[in-house]
Amino acid sequence: MDMKQKVLVTGGTGYIGSHTIIDLIQHGYEVVCVDNGSNSDTSPLQTIKQLTGVEVPFYPLDLCDLDASEQIFVDHPDIRGIIHFAALKAVGESVEKPLLYFKNNLESLMNILTLALRYKVKGFIFSSSCTVYGDAPESPVTEQTPWQEAASPYGRTKQIGEHIITDTIKDSAMQGILLRYFNPAGAHPSGIIGESPINPPQNLVPVITETAIGRRDQMTVFGTDYPTRDGSCIRDYIHVMDLARAHTLALQYLFDGKQNQSCDVFNVGIGNGLSVLEIIAAFEKETGVKLNYKLGPRRPGDVVAIYADYSRAAQLLGWQPQFTVRDIMSSAWKWEQYRTQLMENSLK
């Protein structure tokens, strides 16, 4: 029997990382996880055990500490792949604290690359973002669409991060894949794991579910005078389990030796641009819950419309989205109800 290949998932107790760990385990990988807990707690590890039967070795470390982080590789010198999710991701906070973002996101990246090369890791997958395109003049965007100025220091950490990886691994035996996610949303279909950040969420779908359950009184649609079909912004919402799958496929692509260049890049969105008002309508229709929202002014820094051309991921990785916007809404709602119940029980 084949030995299971070992993969280190950084930021693995976070939203996308925890869902990806489930997909990796279900596709036969052995996972090691590191997270410093700055935006998550360790509860996803228990849920992963519940769903997969596997207890994932966990390192509660800050990747900005190179020496401490080396212990992971001392204990697991056979790590073949790294999926690097660990980063701070609050766009607004990055505008207020740019150095915090440059320091955390870039220092952790440089450290993990240092260790990856030192321990002869084969494949490196990076969480990039559609934010690297800035205010793209038209959609769908392809991987060749030229970058515009990043709208925030957070976005710039992703642009710089892509350059750091490309330059660093160019002449090494390690190969890399940069995945540019569009708007991840939804939760595992079980409804017992989902997005549960320590910092209050700013993203549309968790704001919707938090409003629907009553944790927020009301939500605001940011801008209704954009040049779009209904005046609100258009985005490409991708189910978190579809996104998780893209990571497993990307890793397999590298391990199978299918990539003939040092570093490659893929858009991961479903190519279906939906407006804020359409998302709200989809939530209401899917759940039967009426949402208390008002129409408000634009949010600074928002781009009008962006969605993906994902044909490259389809062609080379064999990736196809399996979930619809309805699945996003039903799973996000199932998870919101479940976690609210958990929180209420813990207060009793």
Do 231 and 276 touch, CB atoms closer than 8 A?
A: no
User: 315, exposed or middle or buried, with CB in 10 Å at 0-12, 13-18, 19+?
Assistant: exposed
Among 112, 165, 204, 238, binds ligand WQD (CB under 6 A): 204
Q: What is the dihedral of CA 49, 53, 57, 61, to 10 degrees?
A: -20
82: CB partners within 8 A, 6+ apart: 7, 8, 9, 10, 112, 116, 121, 123, 124, 125
Among 84, 89, 156, 245, binds ligand WQD (CB under 6 A): 89
Place of tokens 């299971």: 4
- Give least dist CB 41 to ligand NAD, A: 9
Our finding on whether 88 is near ligand NAD (CB under 6 A) is yes
Among 26, 38, 190, 220, binds ligand NAD (CB under 6 A): 38
200 CB-contact burial (10 Å; exposed 0-12 / middle 13-18 / buried 19+): exposed
| Residue of 119, 133, 154, 237 marked catalytic | 154
Instruction: Identify the residue whose tokens are 């515009």.
Output: 148
User: What gap in Å lies between CA 78 and CA 7, rounded to an integer?
Assistant: 9
- Minimum CB separation from ligand WQD for residue 7, in Å? 22
Q: Is 221 in the site for ligand WQD (CB under 6 A)?
A: yes
Query: Binder to ligand NAD among 7, 9, 94, 104 (CB under 6 A)?
Result: 104
The interface region with ligand WQD, picked from 38-46, 92-100, 111-119, 200-208 by CB under 6 A, is 200-208
- The single residue among 91, 112, 121, 179 that binds ligand WQD, judged by CB under 6 A, is 91
Q: Which of 39, 211, 252, 275 binds ligand NAD (CB under 6 A)?
A: 39
Query: How far, CA to CA in Å, does 333 sit from each of 189, 254, 283?
Result: 10, 35, 9
The listed partner (ligand NAD, ligand WQD, none) that binds 13, CB under 5 to 8 Å by sort, is: ligand NAD
| Cα–Cα distance list, 206 to 123, 134, 196, 211, 290 (Å) | 32, 23, 9, 8, 15
Q: Which is nearer to ligand NAD, 13 or 209 (CB)?
A: 13
When the beta carbons of 108 and 145 are compared against ligand NAD, the nearer one is 108
Among ligand NAD, ligand WQD, none, partner that 302 touches (CB below 5 to 8 angstroms by kind): ligand WQD
Packing angle of the helix pair 15-26, 240-255 (nearest 10 deg):
60
- Please state the closest distance from residue 1 (CB atom) to ligand NAD, in A: 33
Catalytic residue list contains 154: yes
Residue 215 in the binding site for ligand WQD (CB under 6 A): no
- Positive or negative: CA dihedral 47, 48, 54, 58: negative
Query: Rg of the chain's alpha carbons, rounded to an integer?
Result: 19
Q: Which residues bind ligand WQD (CB under 6 A)?
A: 89, 91, 129, 131, 155, 183, 202-204, 207, 219-222, 233, 235, 276, 299, 302
* Residues with catalytic function: 154
